[in-house]
Amino acid sequence: MKKISLVVPCYNEEESIPLFYQTVSKVITSMNTPTPTVEPEYIFVDDGSSDHTLDEMKQLHQRYPETVHYRSFSRNFGKESALAAGLQATTGDLVAVMDVDLQDPPELLPKMFALVENDGYDCVGTVQKERRGQSKLRAFLSSSFYRVINWLSDVHIEPNARDYRLMTRQYVDTVLSLPEFNRFSKGIFSWVGFKTTYLAYESQPRAAGTTHWNLRQLFAYSIEGIIDFSDAPLRLATWVGSLSFLLSIVGLIFVIVRALTVGGAVAGWPSLVVIMLLVGGIQLFCLGILGQYISKIYLETKHRPKYIIREEQ
C-alpha cells in the first residue's frame, strides 16, 4: 500500500473543488480494485481566494478529516508559492501536483503510478499536445519561449510541459531543499535531475471557472524564467557593449585620419545625433538587464517567506 499525496493549488475555484474531488476519488477507487494499492492524501492550497474556495475545502475536510487537508494563505502569493506550500505539507511516498480545474486528467494517474512503481522513474511529467482553440499567436509565442530558454539556459525545459507530475518522496525532498525565493518550478524540476519521463495528452477544457493568465502575465512569467535560469542576458550586455566600443574606436580612427588628410567637416549633425541615441539606448538596455538580476538578488537577500499561512488543517 503506497500513500499518494495530491497537491492542489486553488485560486478562486469554488466550483471546481467538489468536481475535482469526485473525479479524482473515482480514479483512486479504480486503482484500488481489485487489490488496494494506494491510499490518497489531498492537500488543497487556497492561494488567497476571495470567493468560497476555503469553505469548500473546509467542507471536504469535515467529511474526510483523515484524507483531506488544506492550507490557506493570507493573500494571493501565486501558483509557485502555492505549490511550494503544498509540497511542504505532503507526507506520502509519492506526490502528485494537479490543477483543480481538471485540465490535468486524473485518468493518467494509474499510468503515471505504474511508471514510477514498475519502471523506476523518479518523476513522471506530462506534456500537453497541440492546444485546440489556442490562437496562432499564442502558440507561436509559447514555442518561441521554449526555444529561447532552452538556447540560453543550461537546464533543458520540456516544451509544453504542464505542472501535472507524479514524483517520489526523494525527488520532492530534493526540490524542497532548494531554498530560493524566486521559484520557476519548470526550471527547478529539470535542474534537480533524476530519472524523468513525460506522458503526452490532449489538452482539456476547464471544468469550471476561468483561467488566471493573460498574455501580459505569461510574457512576464517567461522573462522571469529566463532570468532565473540563465545568465546569458548578462553576457549579452557585455558583448553588445564591447562591440559598440570596438565600432567607436574604428570610427574615431576614421575621423582622425580624415581630419589630418582632408580637413575637418562641420556637416554630419544628424548622423551624430543618431549615433548618440544608439549608444545611449544600448547603455540603457544593458543597465535594464543588470537591473533585472539585481532586483532578483534583492528579493533573495530579504529572506522573506515564500507564503504566509492564515489557517490550515
Interacting residue ranges for ligand UDP, rule: CB under 6 A: 9-11, 13, 47, 76, 78-79, 82, 99-101, 103, 211-213
N residues, the chain: 313
Binding region for Mg ion (CB under 5 A) out of 17-25, 66-74, 93-101, 292-300? 93-101
Contact predicate 181/300, CB 8 Å: yes
In the complex with ligand UDP, the residue whose CB is nearer, 199 or 207, is: 207
Name which position in 101, 104, 163, 228 contacts Mg ion (CB under 5 A). Answer: 101
Residue 79 binds which entry of Mg ion, ligand UDP, none, CB below 5-8 Å type-dependent = ligand UDP
The H or E element containing residue 124 is strand 123-128
In the complex with ligand UDP, the residue whose CB is nearer, 77 or 191, is: 77
In the complex with ligand UDP, the residue whose CB is nearer, 10 or 43, is: 10
Minimal distance, residue 112 CB to Mg ion, in Å? 18
12 part of the interface to Mg ion, by CB under 5 A: no
In the complex with Mg ion, the residue whose CB is nearer, 105 or 233, is: 105
Minimal distance, residue 42 CB to ligand UDP, in Å? 13
Who's near 143: CB < 8 A, 6+ residues apart? 159
Who's near 127: CB < 8 A, 6+ residues apart? 158, 159, 160, 161, 162, 198, 199, 200, 201
Minimal distance, residue 195 CB to ligand UDP, in Å? 26
Cα 155 versus chain centre, distance: 14
> How far apart (Å, rounded) are the C-alpha atoms in residues 112 and 200?
11
104 part of the interface to Mg ion, by CB under 5 A: no
Interacting positions 14-53 with Mg ion (CB under 5 A): none
In the complex with ligand UDP, the residue whose CB is nearer, 171 or 307, is: 307
Contact predicate 37/110, CB 8 Å: no
Question: CB-based burial of residue 22 (10 Å sphere; 0-12 exposed, 13-18 middle, 19+ buried)?
Answer: exposed
DSSP-derived letter for residue 221 is H
Interface positions with Mg ion (CB under 5 A) = 99, 101, 103
